[in-house]
Structure 1
């Protein structure tokens, strides 16, 4: 069984850039880009940040979690890059079929995230109001601070730091079993 590393945060936090570097640091690895799974929807797509998209988001994130879990079960170190709030990490892990995972929340300063979102080229998400809302959700979430990486280091530096946190197990967290399911 490989490991599952979730690199999450609000839009503009640097998830994709850091995840690409981090995935390349392991001998057998796979990067699962959560945003790519939204592109599988041909018709009936809803912007993920609107309230009406809740069921769509659960379905798409569950598909991504299942893919990440299958790759980890195949022996790969999987770096999942996507928006997985602390309020959803247990469901994500359950769907991936893992009992524990590494969880890192990238949370650089809000203004940096907004600047990155605003200056994106060729990226489907540029909504600053939605980015502010998601930033606030992450910033105000109840989460053990050891999982929060609140700096704006370069991607390579962050990836090296995350690799060390994975190696020493300091961002590992158990995945709660589904209700009524003993472990």
Structure 2
């Protein structure tokens, strides 16, 4: 393949990030899914690191794994919250023949709270509300926002695959 694709799917808990990422990875030909939280969970078994160190190492490992899959002809979907890492990530893959698609899933406050309550993750509500406000207020994210309110996963994935405004310029 001469031009693989990377789909970087961001957003707070409750917007459908994992569900969307899994469905997207199934629809994209020759694709693998990287769940960024896996790298953060590696610290739960006795290793000690600050949040900043854990997050930095998670992103470095996401980058490393992504590069290896791209170099071996695979497309990649990454499911992880992107706060201010987009520019760094894009720079790190600039030497690859790859199209980076960035999607920031969003939902309104009431929908987020309802979805999180259904999951039973009530302790995550404050973090989700903080993140949605932060992600939506960032000018770099405005072109890439995708509303998940009143939309099913198939509709969301279809828009990601067919709407060119999610492509990030190199």
Q: Which runs of 5+ in 2 are unaligned?
A: none
TM-score (norm 2): 0.84
Task: Provide Cα deviations, 1:70-112, integer angstroms capped at 9, x if missing partner.
Answer: 2122211111111012x21022233456575110110111221
Distance 1:25 1:75 in 2: 16
What is the TM-score when the length of structure 1 is the normalising length? 0.79
Aligned equivalents of 1:132, 1:45: Cα separation in 2 = 27
1:43 aligned to 43, 46, 53, which one? 46
Residue equivalent to 1:106: 105
Corresponding residue number in structure 1 for 2:78: 80
1:22-171 aligned at under 5 Å gives the runs 22-41=24-43, 42-44=45-47, 53-85=51-83, 87-96=84-93, 98=96, 101-120=100-119, 126-143=123-140, 145-152=142-149, 153-165=151-163, 169-171=164-166
Unaligned runs of 5+ in 1: 47-51, 176-183
Report which stretch shifted further, 73-82 or 141-150. 141-150
Q: Do the aligned partners of residues 60 and 117 (structure 1) sit closer, same or farther apart at CA in structure 2, a change above 3 Å counting?
A: same
Q: Going by fraction, where is helix more abundant, 1 or 2? A: 2
Q: Give the Cα separation in 1 of the matches to 2:157 and 2:48.
A: 33
2:25–2:33: 8 Å Cα contact kept in structure 1?
yes
Cα distance change on mapping 1:66 and 1:174 into 2, 3 Å: farther
Q: CA RMSD in A?
A: 2.3
Q: Return the offset for 1:45.
A: 5.2
Q: Report the number of matched residues.
A: 164
